[in-house]
Amino acid sequence: MECNACGKDQVLELIKLMEEESKVKPDTVTFMAVLSGYSHGGFEDKGLEIFDEMVEWNDEVEAEIEHYGCVVDLLGRAGRSLKNAGNCAIPSNLHASARRMEDVRNVRELMMEKASCDGGDWKKLD
């Protein structure tokens, strides 16, 4: 399933149809693919809507750290900042998981400059 095949407004309908017609239940991977597609496509509002639907509508799929990471990526690509300083580790960890250590250092430096984190935990990681 991909956003290009059905249009950004029809993805949720397709997920529901998939479950009703073919008895195939969307799982964590399904929602990861959808969230990632919206993130890379620049569809911030629809991606957040899908995330909300996933959390509220689907009792069998729990939001995992990877889903929250997609939401952080979605917001970051849309130019929105994180309000909670507790989330400072996520952008750095996303870069670290992709082995982009130069980006990790840049994120840490930027966060310390902007004082969005106290810096103590970042210093321990260096």
Summarised one tens digit per residue, pLDDT across range 46-64 is 888 888 888 877 677 888 8
- 111, 59: one domain: no
| Total of domains in the chain | 2
Per the structure block, which two tokens stand in for 115?
A: 């004082």
- 53, 89: one domain: no
Domain assignment of residue 22, given as a range: 1-80
78: helix, coil or strand?
coil
- 105, 66: one domain: no
pTM, full prediction: 0.55
Per-residue confidence band for 119, with pLDDT thresholds at 50, 70 and 90: very low
SS (H, E, C) 63-98: CCHHHHHHHHHHHHHCCCCCCCHHHHHHHHHHHHHC
- 23, 66: one domain: yes
63 and 95 Cβ atoms separated by less than 8 Å: no
- 21, 71: one domain: yes
Is the pLDDT reported for residue 43 higher than 80?
yes
pLDDT in tens, 23-40: 888 888 988 988 988 888
Is the pLDDT reported for residue 123 higher than 50?
no
* Averaged pLDDT for residues 70-88: 72
- 61, 98: one domain: no
62: helix, coil or strand?
coil
- 7, 49: one domain: yes
Residue 80 has phi, psi (to 5 degrees) of -95, 140
